[in-house]
Chains A and B, each alone.
Chain A
Amino acid sequence: MKLRLKIWREGGEFPKGQFQTYQMDDVNPDMSFLEMLDVLNERLVAEKKRPIAFEHDCREGICGTCSMVINGYPHGPMQGTTACQLHMRHFKDGETITIEPFRAKAFPVLRDLVVDRSSFDRIIESGGYVAVNTGQAQDANAIPVRKEAADEAFNAATCIGCGACVAACPNASAMLFVSAKVSHLAMLPQGKPEAKRRAQAMVAQMDKEGFGNCSNITACEAECPKEISVENIARMNREYFSSVLGSETNA
C-alpha cells in the first residue's frame, strides 16, 4: 500500500518543531506500525538523513515505552491497542497519517516523538508501593484474598505507565494512571493499611508535576491501551477524598 506520513520533527535541524511529510510506496499490510517506521528510518539513514526518533522496546504492548499520537489518537485509532501492536492492515491505501508526540505540560518533548515521562516515576515514588522490606513477609497463603478482589486488583495493575491517558485528556490529567495504582493496592489486604495516605500523597505529587485536574471527560478510558476503567477514579474519589477531604494523613 501507499501512504503519506506527516510526522512531527523536533530538535536538531528542526529546533522549533514542525511537521515533515514522507511518502511510503511499499507498505506491507502485515507490518506493524513501528516496523513501518523502521523501514522509513532505514531509508532516511541510507540517504544520510537523521532518522525519526521514537521510543519503543518490547513491541508487545507491555513495556509502555511506545508513545505517539496517530491521526489524533494516542496509540492510534484501534481500541485497546498500543502503537507497537497496531498493524498496517487497519489503514487504507493512499491514506495520509499524522504522527505526533504525546502532548502535555508534564511530558516535555525531548526529540521528535520522544517525551519525558519521568513525572510518572516520581508519582510512584511518592507512595505507589506497599511499605514492606525484603524478608518480612509471612507465608503467601496466610491471608486468603477473594478471587474477585484479586482479579479487580489485577485489572487495575495492568496499567503499563504509557501516559496515553494524559495525552488523551483535554486537561492533561493523570488521574487514570494514579487511580489505577491506588485501586490496585487498596483492593488487596496487603495494600489496604496505607491506602488513604497513598492516595493523598500520589495525588499531591501529580498536582506538583503540573498534571491537570480531572473533570470526568473519560477520554482517558477510551484511549487507554489496557482499557483501565474510570471506575478506578470514581472509587478513589469516593473512598479517599469525598469524606476526608485530605484531612487524614496517617491512616
Chain B
Amino acid sequence: MKLDGKVPAGSLSEKWTNYRSTVPLVAPNNKRRIDIIVVGTGLAGASAAATLGELGYNVKVFTFHDSPRRAHSIAAQGGINAAKNYQNDGDSVYRLFYDTIKGGDYRSRESNVHRLAEVSVNIIDQAVAQGVPFAREYGGLLANRSFGGVQVSRTFYARGQTGQQLLLGAYQSLSRQISLGNVEMYNRHEMLDVVIVDGKARGIITRNLLNGKIERHAAHAVVLGTGGYGNVFYLSTNAMNCNVTAAWRATKRGAFMANPCFTQIHPTCIPVSGDYQSKLTLMSESLRNDGRVWVPKKMEDVQAIREGRLKPTDLTEEERDYYLERRYPAFGNLVPRDVASRAAKQVCDEGRGVNQNSLAVYLDFNDAIMRYGRSEAHTRGMHNPDEGTVRQLGEKVVEAKYGNLFEMYEKIKGQNPYKTPMMIYPAVHYTMGGLWVDYNLETNIPGLFAIGEANFSDHGANRLGASALMQGLADGYFVLPYTIGQFLAGEIRTGPIDPDQEPFAEAENNVKGQIDRLLSIDGSQSPESIHRRLGRIMWDYCGMARNAEGLKSARQMIRELREEFWNDLYVAGTNEEYNPELEKAYRVADFLELGELMVVDALDRNESCGGHFREEYQSEEGEALRNDEDYAYVSAWEYKGWDEEPELHKEELVFENVELKTRSYK
C-alpha cells in the first residue's frame, strides 16, 4: 500500500495558508448534525474537544482519569516553544522549523513541521487570553528561557509547572463547553476498541472503570489524543497510568503504527534507587540553562566519592570533566537530549558514574548561583560583598527560577541541591513514534485521527525540549479542528451512526472476551511483575543503545514473556467493580505486543538517528551515523495478526527545503 501524506501543493511557507483557504468547510447548521468522539483530555485532547465544541459540533470526550485535569500533560515542567521572537534574538518561524527538523535528525515531514512552527505563535496568544500565568519580566512582558538544541530563547514557561498551567487553561475551556452543553464528558471511561464500519472509524467501545460496564459510543469521526507509550519500559518519567492501549487497539484494527522504536531518553532524571521503584522523576531540561554536567576525571576520585571519603564539592575545577562542554563547545550543556543522554551513558559505561552502580552524573549549579549572586549584589549597589552574601543572593535567584524542582529533588533524595550537585541519569521520557497520520492528522483509517504524543508526526527521531506541549496544543487548537472538516464535509448527509449495527456488537464481544480470558487464567503472577520484566528487556536491548544481536534475542524474550503472561497471570477481583488490577492487566497485554513491534522496527532501521542508536552504526568518536540513502523514510507498520509478521509500509521523506546534513552540535 502506498502511503500518501496528502501534503498540499505550493511552497513550504504557503501550504498551510492555501490549505486553510481551500479546505471544505462544514456549515454551522450541519455541524450540529455531526458527532465527534475525542479520546483523551491531555493538552491535545482537551484543546481539540474545546475547540470542536466552540465550532458547534457535538462532542463526546473520554478519559480514564477521574477528571480531565489529571491527564499526564499536567506534569510537564519546563516550557513551551513559540517563534514569537520577543527577545529579538534572531528567531523566526523558519528557524523553529529548521531547528525541529534538524533536532529530529531529518526523520520528520517538512510540511507538518513548518505548520507547527507557524501556529506556535497563536498558542501563546490563546493561552494568555485564557489566563495562563506565564512568567513575566518586570516590564510586564512575557519572559523566555532556552532549551536544548537551539541557540535562541523561545521557550515560554510558568515556573516549573508549564504543563499544569497550559492544561488547566485547556481544561477550563473544555469545562466551559461542557457547561454550555456542547461537549459531553465521560470521566473514568477507558476506550478498549475502535469500531470500523464500512472502512470508516464510527465509534468506540469503553469500559466504565467504576462498575466495569462495557458501552458502545457512536460518532461520525474518532480522534485519539491518548498520549505516548513510554511506560512500555515500566520505569519512565511518564505518569503511572500512561499506556498504549488506545493506540494499540487502533493498530489492531488496521491503523499503522509509525516509527515505534523512536523513543526519547531524557538526560536529566533522578537515578534509580531501588527495585521497589515504580517510576522515575524528571528534572526539567531547563535546568541545563544553568546547571553544568560533569563527572570526575580520575577513577580514584570516583571511588572516593562512592565510598563517601570525598564530596563532589571537594573536587577542583581541574579534577572535573565537564564532558558536554568539552565535546560540544558550540552547544555545551544545551545539546539535544539524545546527544546528552548518550554522552552520560558513555562516561558511566567507562565506570565514571558517581553512584554505587555507576549510573549517575552530576548536574552542578554552583557557578550559576555565584554568577547570579554577583550580578544581584551589583544591582543592589553592594561593592565587594563576601562570598556568603553572594551565595545567598544567588540561591534566591535560582530558587525563583527552579524552586519547585529543587524542592522535588530534595524530597526524593534527601539532599539539598543548592549545596551539593544533583545526581542525574537518563530515563525514558517520550515517544516520538505513534499512529501514522497524514497532513490532516488522519490515520490510514478514514475518520480516525490522532493528535498529540499519540501520533508520530512532528519530531522525527528526537524531540526538542518544550516542543511536545507546542505540538499537542497546535494539533488541538489550530490544526485538527480545521483538517477534520476535510473528512466531515463528506458526512453531512450520513445521519446519526447506529450503535446497534454488527461491527459494534463484534467489537463489544471482542472486548468482553479479552476481559473474561484475563480473569480466567488464574495463574500466579501479577500484571505488575510481568510489566516490570518487560520493561527490563526493553531498557536493556531497545533502550539508549541497540544492536542487531540484542534486538533479536529481545524479540524472543518478549514472546516468551507474553506466553507466560497468558498462561500464568493472576488478576484479582472481577470485571464488575472498580478494579485497577484488571486495568493494569489489559494494558500490560498491549505493551507486550507493542514491545515486540518496537524491537522489529529497531531491527529494520540499520542506521543510527536521533534517539535510535544502533551500536553498529557510529563514528569513531561515538557519534550517530545516519543513512539517508536507505532510511530517509517513515516506517509504518501494519498489524497482521497474533504471531504474524507485521508488514512494513514506507513513507519516503522528501526534503525540498532543508539540506540533509550530519547533525553537529560541536
Show 18 residue pairs from A and B whose CB-CB distance is below 8 angstroms, ordered by the A residue.
A12-B577, A30-B274, A51-B581, A111-B577, A118-B187, A121-B69, A129-B175, A130-B130, A134-B47, A134-B126, A134-B477, A140-B127, A147-B136, A147-B138, A150-B136, A153-B131, A154-B158, A157-B133
Q: Which of A57, A133, A184 gathers most chain B CB within 10 Å? A: A57
Q: Out of B86, B171, B408, B526, which one reaches A46, CB within 8 Å? A: B526
**Is B50 within 8 A of A134, CB to CB?**
yes
- The answer to whether A235 has its CB under 8 Å from any CB of chain B is no
- The answer to whether A126 has its CB under 8 Å from any CB of chain B is yes
Q: Out of B122, B139, B141, B526, which one reaches A137, CB within 8 Å? A: B122
CB of A18 to closest CB in B, whole Å: 18
**Is B165 within 8 A of A154, CB to CB?**
yes
List the one stretch of B60-68, B196-204, B605-613, B623-631 in contact with chain A.
B60-68
Q: Out of B141, B172, B524, which one reaches A128, CB within 8 Å? A: B172
Q: Out of B54, B70, B274, B407, which one reaches A63, CB within 8 Å? A: B70
Q: Which residues of A contact B11 (CB under 8 A)?
A: none
**Is B578 within 8 A of A111, CB to CB?**
yes
User: Are A190 and B179 also in contact (CB < 8 A) when A30-B274, A85-B408, A87-B411 are?
Assistant: no
A52, B588: Cα distance in complex, Å: 20
Q: Which of B66, B185, B407, B529 gathers most chain A CB within 10 Å? A: B66
**Which residues between 411 and 440 of chain B lie within 8 Å of chain A, taking CB atoms?**
411-412, 414
CB of B140 to closest CB in A, whole Å: 3
**Which residues between 572 and 628 of chain B lie within 8 Å of chain A, taking CB atoms?**
572-573, 577-578, 580-581
A49, B573: Cα distance in complex, Å: 9
A129, B577: Cα distance in complex, Å: 34
Q: Out of B139, B172, B185, which one reaches A144, CB within 8 Å? A: B139
- The answer to whether A207 has its CB under 8 Å from any CB of chain B is no
User: Are A140 and B172 also in contact (CB < 8 A) when A59-B278, A62-B164, A87-B414 are?
Assistant: no
CB of A162 to closest CB in B, whole Å: 10
- The answer to whether B642 has its CB under 8 Å from any CB of chain A is no
- The answer to whether B489 has its CB under 8 Å from any CB of chain A is no
**Is B274 within 8 A of A60, CB to CB?**
no
**Is B176 within 8 A of A131, CB to CB?**
yes
**Is B159 within 8 A of A48, CB to CB?**
no
**Is A150 within 8 A of B51, CB to CB?**
no
Q: Which residues of B contact A141 (CB under 8 A)?
A: 84, 86, 141-142
A140, B408: Cα distance in complex, Å: 31
Digit string of B35-61 for contact with A (CB within 8 Å is 1, else 0)? 000000000000100110010000000
**Is B578 within 8 A of A42, CB to CB?**
no
Q: Out of A61, A117, A154, which one reaches B66, CB within 8 Å? A: A117
CB of A43 to closest CB in B, whole Å: 10
Q: Which of A35, A46, A118, A130 gathers most chain B CB within 10 Å? A: A130
- The answer to whether B178 has its CB under 8 Å from any CB of chain A is yes
Q: Which residues of B contact A57 (CB under 8 A)?
A: 65, 70, 72, 239-241
Number of interface residues of B (CB under 8 A): 80
Number of A-B residue pairs at CB separation under 8 A:
211
**Is B239 within 8 A of A121, CB to CB?**
no
Closest residue on chain B to residue A27 by CB atoms: B276
- The answer to whether B279 has its CB under 8 Å from any CB of chain A is yes
CB of A121 to closest CB in B, whole Å: 5
Q: Which residues of B contact A95 (CB under 8 A)?
A: none
Q: Out of B72, B185, B407, B412, which one reaches A58, CB within 8 Å? A: B72
What interface size band does chain A fall in?
A: 35 or more
- The answer to whether A64 has its CB under 8 Å from any CB of chain B is yes
Digit string of A18-43 for contact with B (CB within 8 Å is 1, else 0)? 00000000001011101100110010
Digit string of A115-156 for contact with B (CB within 8 Å is 1, else 0)? 011101100111011111111111111001111001101100
Q: Which residues of B contact A32 (CB under 8 A)?
A: 412
**Is A60 within 8 A of B75, CB to CB?**
yes
Further contacts, 15 of them, CB under 8 A, given A63-B72, A141-B86: A11-B578, A30-B273, A45-B570, A58-B239, A59-B239, A60-B408, A121-B68, A124-B172, A132-B130, A134-B173, A136-B129, A137-B128, A141-B141, A157-B158, A190-B130
User: Are A139 and B125 also in contact (CB < 8 A) when A50-B572, A117-B66 are?
Assistant: yes
**Is B528 within 8 A of A42, CB to CB?**
yes
Q: Which residues of B contact A131 (CB under 8 A)?
A: 176
Q: Out of A81, A111, A120, A190, which one reaches B411, CB within 8 Å? A: A81
A150, B143: Cα distance in complex, Å: 11
- The answer to whether B478 has its CB under 8 Å from any CB of chain A is yes
CB of A138 to closest CB in B, whole Å: 7
Q: Which of B139, B168, B210 gathers most chain A CB within 10 Å? A: B168
Q: Out of A42, A62, A151, A161, which one reaches B75, CB within 8 Å? A: A62
Q: Which of A44, A65, A85 gathers most chain B CB within 10 Å? A: A65
- The answer to whether B135 has its CB under 8 Å from any CB of chain A is yes
**Is A114 within 8 A of B179, CB to CB?**
no
- The answer to whether B259 has its CB under 8 Å from any CB of chain A is no
A116, B160: Cα distance in complex, Å: 28
**Which 3 pairs between the two chains have the least Cβ-Cβ distance?**
A144-B140, A129-B172, A137-B129
- The answer to whether B656 has its CB under 8 Å from any CB of chain A is no
Q: Which of B124, B411, B580 gathers most chain A CB within 10 Å? A: B411
A158, B160: Cα distance in complex, Å: 10
**Is B136 within 8 A of A116, CB to CB?**
no
- The answer to whether B137 has its CB under 8 Å from any CB of chain A is yes
Closest residue on chain B to residue A129 by CB atoms: B172
CB of B390 to closest CB in A, whole Å: 24
Q: Which residues of B contact A34 (CB under 8 A)?
A: 278
CB of B509 to closest CB in A, whole Å: 27
Q: Which residues of B contact A140 (CB under 8 A)?
A: 84, 124-125, 127-128, 134, 142
- The answer to whether B277 has its CB under 8 Å from any CB of chain A is yes
- The answer to whether B74 has its CB under 8 Å from any CB of chain A is yes
Q: Out of B161, B173, B478, which one reaches A62, CB within 8 Å? A: B161
A80, B403: Cα distance in complex, Å: 13
Q: Which of B72, B125, B276 gathers most chain A CB within 10 Å? A: B276
**Is A132 within 8 A of B129, CB to CB?**
yes
- The answer to whether A55 has its CB under 8 Å from any CB of chain B is yes
User: Are A157 and B411 also in contact (CB < 8 A) when A63-B239, A114-B578, A144-B140 are?
Assistant: no
**Is B529 within 8 A of A42, CB to CB?**
yes
